[in-house]
Structure 1
């Protein structure tokens, strides 16, 4: 797997998210606000993923 790919970015994002949630749970700061922010982040990530597939970069169309 290439390190400069969208899949590598997604895996790194997943690892970072799990680490943040684990630390928040260990310190007792995992409340409703954090879950709402994380849910908003997930929605934004999914919409970005859909946009990448629906609207690919222009270079892909000019080949």
Structure 2
């Protein structure tokens, strides 16, 4: 993502947005946070997740198909 200055920035997702993206419940997201399985930011108005961290989280859990 780039801002108006042409600089690269990070996109932060809410719990609800992340749950929708992963097609899981918000409870599942809170469970991942509780067990420190996914990186997050604790901000005054709730938790946020860096889109790049989410991508890395998914890559680490990828299971290759077996022929």
Q: What is the TM-score with the length of structure 2 in the denominator?
A: 0.30
Greater relative contact order structure (CA < 8 Å, 6+ sep): 2
Higher strand content, 1 or 2: 2
Higher helix content, 1 or 2: 1
